Amino acid sequence: MAGLLLSRTEKVYIVNGIEEDFRSDGRSNYDYRPIELETNVVSHASGSARLRLANTDILVGIKTEVDIPKPETPGLGKIEFFVDCSANATPEFEGRGGEQLANRISNILQRAYHASQAFNLKQLCIFEGKQCWKLYVDILILECGGNLCDAVSLAVKAALFTTRIPFVKAALMDGGDVDLQLSDDPFDSKPLVVGTAPLLVTLCKIGNKFVVDPSAEEEFCSIVSVVIGVSGNPAHYTTEKIENVESKFTTIGMSGVGGLVPDTLKSAISQGIVAAKCLDSALGRSLLRERQDICSYKKDSYGFLK
Amino acid sequence: MSGHVSIKLASERVNPSVASNNEIPRFFTPGEVICGLGDFMRGHGTYLEDNNIKSSVAGVMQKVNKLICVHPLKSRYVGEIGDVVVGRVIEVQQKRWKVETNSRLDSILQLSSVNLPGGELRRRSAEDEQMMRQLLKEGDLISAEVQSIYSDGSLSLHTRSLKYGKLQQGVMVKVFPSLIRRRKNHFHVFSFGISMIIGNNGFIWISPIPRELTNEERNVNSDTSSPEVSKHERKAIARMKNCIAALASSKMMLDDNSLRYAYEESFKYLNVKDLLDTEAMLDVAFLTQHRINDYDED
């Protein structure tokens, strides 16, 4: 990533370690670094989350707005992603420096969330063909420590999980226009159903092996990386018993200069789906735990200060 | 082949402090009045305003007789002559290299202050100047000693000893320079199969113990023949890396003793990757602090 230099011998050390399935901090090629999550950190947003994966720090806020659905999809709501790379992360993001990376991440999220079975956009519909909810997902990258895509997608899903959409009390038809009356009570709202929302998994090809959750140094050693989007399993996100939904592959993106043989690509995808399932169930468990905490007592906000 | 994922909540975060005797020093913030002028003298990290000595950095106060200094908690590396540092070459210039050493300004390594290949001392010719990139190129890590300090505070390094020079395979860990305890020796070889350079600038280099090279081998560019690192050495290096991270997150001073203790205590956790967990890190730091205290009492 940005502003990093490694000597040739350090690269040799990293590549050989991955070949032996023993990375420089003792992880195997399939292990993630410890992740820390906090939801509802921004009180003005409809839903928010902050996620820290080793040195990668992500803040996500979600804003809801009433909008008119697209004519080709009258029954669906809208979701839009905006990534902002803070110059705090690295000096290279200053000005327009982070724009390319930001666009790449927001595009792949956009594609992943618009796959037909990934995220249920029907729940955002208010009045078919006339009114729908539009979710603005604002992602702020505060620190870059490798593996941005995965961290961003986890934070987005966590933020969506806490997002509540106000109920519509009454709708008045005024000619062709609809006039909505929304409830003023912030608790008079429904949570989003996010079980199937996709997660992104980056697989970095280093040497002849693929690794998940590369650190910034490892990313520097890789010639090509594959980002895949995998839809989630709603059974992990509720305490009720519902049947498992098989995780499905929703999107793929590649970055780096290298290429891949079809067979390696296939094995990368299957490795990514396994990793995504693990991530999904871990995220679901901790989100349910967080929700329980909020219900049982007044939650202290930790944010950035503690 | 499924991997390990752990997602913790912020509310479950552990406090990394291991302060043993509940003796938390008094911290000063910039601009805070330390004391009236009296007959005190103003040292580093302080300034004079309205007949008061005030702190110009965030840190702890140290009083030596009448001299009052404030040592910042986090700062860039402030070099002293004779310090051992680990640095990364970032630029090759005319007759010198620019080296990143975590100080405020990039350090300088002159062509005249390195040992040229061949060993013996000789004049540095124009040919040597053209060969500089073959000696050290951008990204290379070196260990060096601070030779002198320029008037603007930037450091001049030298590598004119066999123990200094280019570093081969291994890992570099970065910690705050203030956490490094100054010792006579900063080169350590541990019995569990790793060697370490604890740079005064907070860069710590961990590598396998170098095998004895014959003079001939030393002459050929050793880049091409980097030896394989065994799994055993790799495990020891990774464990040491995680131990350093554990001690640094608890703000404990790092030297060969504390790191050896931490390494030995860390065997409570069999898998090296278990040490990435914040609770395990705190546990290792805590046990290490205990051993240091026991040692001090004896």
If DSSP states are collapsed to H, E and C, what string results for chain A? CCCCCCCHHHHHHHHHHHHCCCCCCCCCCCCCCCEEEEECCCCCCCEEEEEEECCEEEEEEEEEEEECCCCCCCCCCEEEEEEEECCCCCHHHCCCCCHHHHHHHHHHHHHHHCCCCCCCHHHHEEECCCEEEEEEEEEEEEECCCCHHHHHHHHHHHHHHHCEEECEEEEEEECCEEEEEECCCCCCEEECCCCCCCEEEEEEEECCEEEECCCHHHHHHCCEEEEEEECCCHHHHCCCCCCCCCCCEEEEEEEECCCCCHHHHHHHHHHHHHHHHHHHHHHHHHHHHHHHHHHHCCCCCCCCCC
Nearest CA in chain A to B242: A25
DSSP one-letter code for B126: H
Q: Chain A residues with CB inside 8 Å of B7's CB? A: 35-37, 154, 282-283, 285-286
pLDDT of amino acid A154: 92
- What is the spatial distance between Cα A82 and Cα A80, in angstroms, rounded to a whole number? 7
Answer for the pair B272, B242: CB distance below 8 angstroms, yes or no.
Answer: yes
Quick check: A50 contacting B, CB < 8 Å? yes
pLDDT of amino acid A2: 47
pLDDT of amino acid B22: 60
What does the pLDDT look like over B273-297, one tens digit per residue? 888 888 888 899 989 988 888 887 7
- Answer yes or no: do A13 and B171 touch at CB < 8 A: yes
pLDDT of amino acid B30: 93
- Among positive and negative, which fits the CA dihedral B207, B208, B212, B214? negative
pLDDT of amino acid B115: 81
- Answer yes or no: do B229 and A31 touch at CB < 8 A: no
Q: Which of A7-16, A176-185, B193-202 comes out lowest in average pLDDT? A: A176-185
- Answer yes or no: do A286 and B8 touch at CB < 8 A: yes
Quick check: B101 contacting A, CB < 8 Å? no
Quick check: A16 contacting B, CB < 8 Å? yes
Quick check: A300 contacting B, CB < 8 Å? yes
Q: Which of A98-107, B152-161, B207-216 comes out lowest in average pLDDT? A: B207-216
Quick check: A290 contacting B, CB < 8 Å? yes
Alpha-helix residue ranges (DSSP H) falling in chain B: 126-130, 132-135, 215-219, 231-249, 256-265, 278-297
Q: Chain B residues with CB inside 8 Å of A286's CB? A: 7-9
- Answer yes or no: do A37 and B275 touch at CB < 8 A: no
Strand order in the sheet with B46-49: B33-36, B52-55, B46-49
SS3 (DSSP) at B106 = coil
pLDDT of amino acid B118: 64
Strand order in the sheet with A224-230: A209-212, A199-206, A224-230, A249-256
pLDDT of amino acid A114: 87
Mutate: best of B2, B7, B135, B234, partner A, most A CBs <10 A: B7
Angle at B251 between CA B246 and CA B255, to 5 degrees: 75
Quick check: A84 contacting B, CB < 8 Å? no
Residue B140 has its nearest CB partner, among A7, A30, A290, at: A7
Q: Chain B residues with CB inside 8 Å of A300's CB? A: 11
Quick check: B98 contacting A, CB < 8 Å? no
Quick one: pLDDT band at residue A298, thresholds 50, 70, 90? Answer: low
pLDDT of amino acid B131: 82
Residue percentage of chain B with pLDDT more than 70: 90
Quick one: pLDDT band at residue B214, thresholds 50, 70, 90? Answer: low
Q: Quick check: pTM over 0.90?
A: no
Say if residue A44's pLDDT is above 60: yes
pLDDT of amino acid B84: 93
Chain A: nearest CA to B296, how far in angstroms?
Answer: 31
What does the pLDDT look like over B108-125, one tens digit per residue? 999 888 887 666 666 677
Mutate: best of B5, B224, B263, B267, partner A, most A CBs <10 A: B5
Answer for the pair B161, B103: CB distance below 8 angstroms, yes or no.
Answer: no
Residue B141 has its nearest CB partner, among A7, A34, A212, at: A7
Residues 162 through 221 of chain A touching chain B, CB cutoff 8 Å: 212
Q: Compare B73 and B97 and report the one with higher pLDDT.
A: B97
pLDDT of amino acid A1: 42
- What is the spatial distance between Cα A118 and Cα A197, in angstroms, rounded to a whole number? 5
Six-digit token string for B198:
């604890």
Quick one: pLDDT band at residue B2, thresholds 50, 70, 90? Answer: low
Say if residue B36's pLDDT is above 90: no
Q: Which of A21-35, A245-259, A272-286 comes out lowest in average pLDDT? A: A245-259
Q: Which of A162-171, A201-210, B41-50, B205-214 comes out lowest in average pLDDT? A: B205-214
pLDDT of amino acid B206: 92
Quick check: B9 contacting A, CB < 8 Å? yes
Chain B: nearest CA to A277, how far in angstroms?
Answer: 9
Return all residues near B22 (Cβ < 8 A) that are at least 6 apart. Answer: none
Quick check: B64 contacting A, CB < 8 Å? no
What does the pLDDT look like over A143-186, one tens digit per residue? 888 888 899 999 999 999 988 888 887 777 777 677 777 777 77
Chain B: nearest CA to A283, how far in angstroms?
Answer: 6
- Answer yes or no: do B1 and A274 touch at CB < 8 A: yes
- Answer yes or no: do A278 and B138 touch at CB < 8 A: no
Give Cα B41 distance to the centre of its chain: 31
Q: Chain B residues with CB inside 8 Å of A299's CB? A: 11
Say if residue A253's pLDDT is above 80: yes
Residue B223 has its nearest CB partner, among A8, A154, A285, at: A8
Quick one: pLDDT band at residue A26, thresholds 50, 70, 90? Answer: confident
Q: Which of A62-66, A217-221, B7-11 comes out lowest in average pLDDT? A: B7-11
